[in-house]
């Protein structure tokens, strides 16, 4: 693989699902996975198979449905977790076990109640066991960004020796800042003797709003896999948002000469699908996928845009799959046209939410001659929120 190619590992279906209230059923997971595959995601983490029979079945169904992307499942460092995970993912032509163990002093003392040497042994054992079941094993040092450096180097070296192909260094609690996180990745590149046998990966949480910045800084320091989610969904304040990472790399190759395999024109559709299924409304001013991300309200900006789009636009709406304010709906449009419009906009809604949005659409169409895509998006967001 080209040395500047960044692997996109999407964890919307696993870490994203850990957002309180964002659980997805089997059909919904498969639907999202197929869209992620179509948009060119390299690795789809489909769930945590040991967590429940439902999650096992969902990961298994995703593994059966997806043919091109690698399907990963999460497993703690136990034989039970790892075996169950192998069973769930093996139907996919490319599959991966992602196993993890905490390495920070805080986590080892309070969560694991284990001494560092015992943790190190468990890293070796768990990775070797996973590797006896599948070829492609990823190992994560949970709370890696708060781990003591010498110990982290020893764990990473041991995980690679035991057969891990990808080493992930999560900023589990979103505590890192970009220069510090980049230095951590650079330290591993420089100090771990067998590091060139693995891909270094990052997994950043957004507690300080720095998940995307930290991920991009880490790539500059040598990481070549970014773990992220659609709309930045995930535990607490979420994970790094995939759409922001991908568009930042696409828009600023002068500062970040890295590529991904993502077909960015699918971004809007994926964002709306995930929002519709989870009921997590995207904030209007959210970068890339918020409904105002390409709206120009002030007269000065509108005037500038008419003269030359680049005056106030650093990327085109079309590049993320958003049609420029196409007006097609009005008060004569019926339910079927409305449903089909929703589909075009990437929404997959339940009957109640569609009906609610349709009633509001009719009310709006009575007051407003032209109903734009943005109006419909706003209606749906409200309907989803109330559902
Ligand atoms: O945030 C985290 O540390 C995780 C790991 C399990 C990868 O989600
Ligand atoms: Zn996480």
Distance from residue 173's CA to the centre of ligand 2 (Å): 8
pLDDT attached to residue 298: 64
Provide the pLDDT confidence category of residue 296 given band limits of 50, 70 and 90. Answer: low
Report the residue count for the chain. Answer: 387
Distance from residue 277's CA to the centre of ligand 1 (Å): 23
Q: Which is the closest atom of ligand 1 to the Cα of 74?
A: 6
pLDDT attached to residue 79: 98
Q: Which is the closest atom of ligand 1 to the Cα of 227?
A: 7
Distance from residue 138's CA to the centre of ligand 1 (Å): 12
Distance from residue 379's CA to the centre of ligand 1 (Å): 35
In the predicted model, what is the mean pLDDT of the chain?
A: 93
Q: Which of 142, 144, 152 to mutate to test the pocket of ligand 1 (most atoms within 8 A of CB)?
A: 142
Distance from residue 143's CA to the centre of ligand 2 (Å): 9
Long-range contacts at 317-321 (CB < 8 A, ≥ 24 apart) = 318/265, 319/247, 319/250, 319/264, 319/265, 320/243, 320/247, 320/264, 320/265, 320/267, 320/268, 320/288, 320/289, 321/264, 321/265, 321/266, 321/267, 321/268, 321/269, 321/346
Asked if pLDDT for residue 351 goes beyond 70, the answer is yes
Q: Which of 140, 141, 166, 173 to mutate to test the pocket of ligand 1 (most atoms within 8 A of CB)?
A: 140
Q: Which is the closest atom of ligand 1 to the Cα of 173?
A: 1
The SS3 assignment for 282 reads coil
| pLDDT tens-digit readout, 214-231 | 999 999 999 999 999 999
Average pLDDT of 320-345? 78
239 annotated as ligand-binding:
yes
Asked if pLDDT for residue 327 goes beyond 50, the answer is no
Q: Which two tokens stand for residue 352?
A: 């109640």
Percent residues over pLDDT 70 in the chain: 95
Q: How far apart are CA 341 and CA 295, in angstroms?
A: 20
Residue bearing the CA closest to ligand 1, atom 8: 15
Q: Which of 259-263, 340-344, 382-386 is predicted least confidently?
A: 382-386
| pLDDT tens-digit readout, 185-213 | 999 999 999 999 999 999 999 999 999 99
Do the strands 199-204 and 225-228 form a parallel or antiparallel pair, or are they unpaired?
parallel
110 annotated as ligand-binding:
no
Stronger pLDDT, 370 or 129, i.e. the higher one:
129
Provide the pLDDT confidence category of residue 295 given band limits of 50, 70 and 90. Answer: confident
The SS3 assignment for 155 reads helix
- Provide the residues around ligand 2 (an ion) whose CB is within 5 A: 15
pLDDT attached to residue 385: 58
Give the pocket of ligand 1 (CB within 6 Å): 15, 100, 140, 142, 168, 170, 172, 203, 205
Average pLDDT of 27-32? 97
| pLDDT tens-digit readout, 94-142 | 999 999 999 999 999 999 999 999 999 999 999 999 999 999 999 999 9
Provide the pLDDT confidence category of residue 313 given band limits of 50, 70 and 90. Answer: confident
Q: How many CB atoms lie within 10 A of CB 17?
A: 26
Asked if pLDDT for residue 328 goes beyond 70, the answer is no
| Residue 270 contacts residue 347 (beta carbons within 8 Å) | no
């Amino acid at each position: 693989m080209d040395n500047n190619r960044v692997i996109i590992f999407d964890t919307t279906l696993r870490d994203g699902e850990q957002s309180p209230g964002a659980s997805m059923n089997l059909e919904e997971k498969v639907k999202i996975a197929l869209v992620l595959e179509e948009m060119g995601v390299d690795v789809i983490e489909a769930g945590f198979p040991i967590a429940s029979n439902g999650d096992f079945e969902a990961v298994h169904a995703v593994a059966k449905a997806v043919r091109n992307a690698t399907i990963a499942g999460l497993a703690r460092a136990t034989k039970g977790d790892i075996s169950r995970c192998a069973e769930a993912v093996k139907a996919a032509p490319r599959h991966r076990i992602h196993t993890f163990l905490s390495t920070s002093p805080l986590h080892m003392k309070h969560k694991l109640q284990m001494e560092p040497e015992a943790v190190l042994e468990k890293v070796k054992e768990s990775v070797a066991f996973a590797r006896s079941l599948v070829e492609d094993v990823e190992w994560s040092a949970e709370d890696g960004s708060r781990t003591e450096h010498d110990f982290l180097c020893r764990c990473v070296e041991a995980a690679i020796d035991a057969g891990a192909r990808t080493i992930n260094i999560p900023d589990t609690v979103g505590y890192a800042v970009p220069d510090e996180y980049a230095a951590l990745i650079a330290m591993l590149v420089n100090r771990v003797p067998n590091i060139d046998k693995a891909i270094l990966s990052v997994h950043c949480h957004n507690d300080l709003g720095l998940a995307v910045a930290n991920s991009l800084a880490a790539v500059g320091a040598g990481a070549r896999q970014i773990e992220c989610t659609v709309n930045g969904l995930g535990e607490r304040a979420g994970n790094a948002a995939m759409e922001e990472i991908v568009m930042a790399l696409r828009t600023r190759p002068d500062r970040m000469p890295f590529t991904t395999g993502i077909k960015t024109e699918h971004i809007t559709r994926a964002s709306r699908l995930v929002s519709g299924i989870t009921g997590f409304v995207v904030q209007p001013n959210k970068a890339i996928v918020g409904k105002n991300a390409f709206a120009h309200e002030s007269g000065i900006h509108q005037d500038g845009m008419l003269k030359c789009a680049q005056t106030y636009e650093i990327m085109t709406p079309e590049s993320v799959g958003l049609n420029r304010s196409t007006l097609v709906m009005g008060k004569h449009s019926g339910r079927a046209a409305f449903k089909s419009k929703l589909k075009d906009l990437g929404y997959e809604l339940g009957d109640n939410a569609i009906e609610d949005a349709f009633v509001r659409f009719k009310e709006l169409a009575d007051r407003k001659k032209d109903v734009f895509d943005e109006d419909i998006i706003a209606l749906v967001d409200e309907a989803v929120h109330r559902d």
